Amino acid sequence: VSKPSCVLAFDLGASSGRAIVGRLDSEAGIVTIEEIHRFSNDPVKVGNHLYWDILRLFHELKQGILQMKHLGYTDIESLAIDSWAVDFGLLAANGELLGNPYHYRDHQTDHVMDKVIDLVGRENLYAKTGLQFLQFNSIFQLYALKERNPELLQRADTFLMIPDLLRYFLTGEKHSEYTNSTTTQLFNATTQTWDMELIDQLGLPGELLLNPVSSGTRVGALTKEICDELDVPSIPVIAVGEHDTASAVVAVPALEEDFAFLSCGTWSLLGTETLAPVLSEQALAWNFTNEGGVYGTNRLLKNIMGLWLIQECKRTWDKEGKNISFAELVKLAEQVKPFQSFIDPDDDMFLNPEHMPKQIQQYCRETDQIVPQTEGEIARCMLESLALKYRFILERTEQLSGKKYQGLHIVGGGIQNELLCQFTSNATQREVWAGPVEGSALGNLVVQWISLGYIANLREARKLIRNSFPVKTYLPQDGAGWQAAYAAFCQVASRSTVK
């Protein structure tokens, strides 16, 4: 009887991080997971800038490793990290971190995108990178730094994305991982290398960039210093699909070849997997993105503002001493009248406002709608609008891919919001298949097992996940009501130009 294999995943979302041990019983074809550590990820504002607390995050990784030891996991075969995309740290030549990595919602990139587009051209940038225009892509962050803080770039020797950086802290080795590199908007989707022409044209320091390793590559092991500090044996480290969305899509338990997915957390990432980037005029006009996936896959998708809206309302209300949990908010939303007012979740005004509830109200006022007043009314407005936006993007995904999807797979923390899952089924008038909740962590785990030789390929990995975790099916309800709501939503959103 072969022994189960245990590996450790660190999955860092924009709202929280977790350490999860996965156990693979190859004979039974079953994966089980244990969350051994969870921590909040709290960005820190200093002066006018917003940063990630990178050293705190590294501390939490160490806590996860300690917890692994305390729980008696003595046979962890490897570990890996995945996190949100686009953000990075800069190292000096001596290997020390220069400054704190900026949060992608920092205002340093406001208005920078237009400048860069003026310089290199929108069509050209899209044809090269295939990436959607989001004001915080690494390209715009680097350009903002070049203008605002050139000394920092001059001192820098190496550019590392967040998981690359944390992995460097763990192993002492510097490597760029492929999936995350593709989110910078500096990576050429066709040549599959850094686009040096683009980088030179913008005067960005291309010499800081490392050639990416492909996802699934072994990239060192815990340093001796860390092993001594934590009193653990050295563990091999693997660069999985380190972009959390890449890992989330690995974990979509789809048995069919063509499927649509929604990775639902701080962001809602909705789209499909394709064999090659879709760089059509229509894809550009609709601002869809092509991100590199593991094992040669491409993710054609669109960012939707997602549960950030809810998180920010909750954070504001918590500050006011109301302390409403996510589950309570959902209950409050359930109790109020449906279809009162809608927002376009992707209006720029929701990217990082001071006061999200007031911003929602402001949007409704400006668009001559009923202004939601209570927490429940505001939450309902956001949840209905998100579900309607999912329909909008799902239909565009179908048009771009030329495929029809019978239903929508949803993975991620957001599936704990069952009202949103039901709304999504109603809005799209299709089945919704929700699960697993720990999508990114599972994608991280199975890619480790593929690298270690326990799982043959991506297809087998998805089958294994399908057999190991429950998927909840939601059936569409109230077609007429939601159809009318969709018409009203499109009308409102077109005023803020539906993106």
Q: Which residues are designated catalytic?
A: 244
| Cα 127 from Cα 197, distance rounded (Å) | 13
For position 13 contacting ligand ADP by CB under 6 A, the verdict is: yes
275 touches 299 (CB < 8 A) = no
For position 417 contacting ligand ADP by CB under 6 A, the verdict is: yes
For position 104 contacting ligand LRH by CB under 6 A, the verdict is: yes
CA–centroid distance for 419 within its chain: 22
For position 81 contacting ligand LRH by CB under 6 A, the verdict is: no
Residues 362-421 contacting ligand LRH, CB under 6 A: none
For position 327 contacting ligand ADP by CB under 6 A, the verdict is: yes
| CB 160, min distance to ligand ADP, A | 21
For position 435 contacting ligand ADP by CB under 6 A, the verdict is: no
For position 458 contacting ligand LRH by CB under 6 A, the verdict is: no
For position 162 contacting ligand LRH by CB under 6 A, the verdict is: no
Task: Indicate the pairing of strand 49-51 with strand 44-46.
Answer: antiparallel
For position 244 contacting ligand LRH by CB under 6 A, the verdict is: yes
Residue 357 or 439 having the CB closest to ligand LRH: 439
Contacts of 217 (CB under 8 A, 6+ apart): 175, 177, 238, 239, 451
Task: Indicate the pairing of strand 30-40 with strand 176-177.
Answer: unpaired
Which residues of 344-495 form beta strands (DSSP E)?
407-411, 431-434, 472-474
Task: Indicate the pairing of strand 76-83 with strand 5-12.
Answer: parallel
Residue 295 or 326 having the CB closest to ligand ADP: 326
Contact pattern from residue 248 through residue 277 relative to ligand ADP, giving x for each residue in contact according to CB under 6 A and a dash for the rest: -----------------xx-----------
Question: CA nearest 406: which of 435, 429, 439?
Answer: 429
For position 376 contacting ligand ADP by CB under 6 A, the verdict is: no
Sign of the Cα torsion 41, 46, 48, 52 reads negative
Geometric angle at alpha carbon 474, from 261 and 438, rounded to 5°: 50
Determine the interface stretch with ligand ADP among 9-17, 253-261, 364-372, 455-463 (rule: CB under 6 A): 9-17
Per partner kind, with CB cut-offs from 5 to 8 A, the member of ligand ADP, ligand LRH, none near residue 236 is none
Per partner kind, with CB cut-offs from 5 to 8 A, the member of ligand LRH, ligand ADP, none near residue 85 is ligand LRH
Per partner kind, with CB cut-offs from 5 to 8 A, the member of ligand ADP, ligand LRH, none near residue 413 is ligand ADP
| CB 258, min distance to ligand ADP, A | 25
Question: CA nearest 145: which of 168, 116, 125, 121?
Answer: 116
| Cα 444 from Cα 479, distance rounded (Å) | 37
Residues 393-412 contacting ligand ADP, CB under 6 A: 412
437 touches 317 (CB < 8 A) = no
410 touches 433 (CB < 8 A) = yes
| CB 237, min distance to ligand LRH, A | 20
Residues 261-280 contacting ligand LRH, CB under 6 A: 265-267, 269
| Cα 95 from Cα 299, distance rounded (Å) | 33
For position 310 contacting ligand ADP by CB under 6 A, the verdict is: yes
| CB 105, min distance to ligand ADP, A | 13
Sheet bearing 158-161, strands edge to edge: 97-98, 88-91, 158-161
Residues 12-41 contacting ligand LRH, CB under 6 A: 13-14
Q: Rule CB under 6 A: which residues touch ligand LRH?
A: 13-14, 84-86, 104, 243-245, 265-267, 269, 303
* Contact set with ligand ADP (CB under 6 A): 13-16, 265-266, 307, 310-311, 326-327, 330, 412-414, 416-417
